[in-house]
């Protein structure tokens, strides 16, 4: 019994140390490196008015995760920015969110740039994701 409890506590500790989930979309240097199909499905669901939610993970130079969550309710997108796991995030570490009307995209030299528009707060204006094609 004691050994089982130790194993359970170790699993809980290790999962708390790694906030990145298997379902997250990991983004690195202009490339979606995991779960690109989830991002593509999210874009399609937006076009079709179907509810969906994704979480995008980008890493700092030091390797700390920064999370961008897009939660579409069929009408608006709630955008949440979370840098609470950034060891060098300074005084502004934490979670901020706002509601936006659209996720716009435009062709770029390297691929496609996605930006939020019609946002209720300043935080939505900072979301930009350039995906290489």
Q: What is the pLDDT of residues 82-113, one digit of tens each?
A: 999 998 877 888 999 999 999 999 999 989 99
Report the SS3 class of residue 49: coil
Long-range contacts of 10-17 (CB under 8 A, 24+ apart): none
Q: How far apart are CA 115 and CA 128, in angstroms?
A: 5
Instruction: Name the least confident of 15-29, 47-61, 69-83.
Output: 15-29
Cα→Cα distances 37→14, 24, 131, Å: 27, 11, 13
Please report, for the chain, the start and end positions of each structural domain, with discontinuous segments joined by +. Answer: 22-132
pLDDT one-digit tens code per residue, 32-68: 889 999 999 999 999 999 999 999 999 999 999 999 9
Q: In what order do the strands lie in the sheet with 111-117?
A: 102-107, 111-117, 128-132
- Contact by Cβ (8 Å): 109, 115: no
Threshold 0.85, pTM exceeds: no
């Amino acid at each position: 019994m004691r050994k089982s409890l130790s194993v359970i506590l170790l699993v809980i500790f290790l999962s708390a140390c790694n906030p990145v989930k298997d379902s997250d979309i990991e983004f690195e240097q202009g490339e979606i490196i995991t779960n690109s199909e989830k991002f593509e499905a999210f874009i399609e669901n937006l076009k079709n008015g179907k509810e969906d939610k994704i979480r995008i993970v980008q890493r700092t130079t030091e390797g700390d995760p920064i999370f961008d969550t897009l939660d579409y309710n069929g009408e608006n997108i709630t955008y949440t920015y979370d840098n609470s796991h950034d060891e060098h995030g300074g005084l502004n570490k934490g979670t901020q969110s706002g509601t936006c009307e659209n996720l716009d995209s435009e062709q770029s030299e390297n691929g496609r740039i996605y930006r939020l528009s019609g946002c209720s707060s300043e935080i939505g204006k900072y979301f930009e994701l350039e995906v290489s094609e």
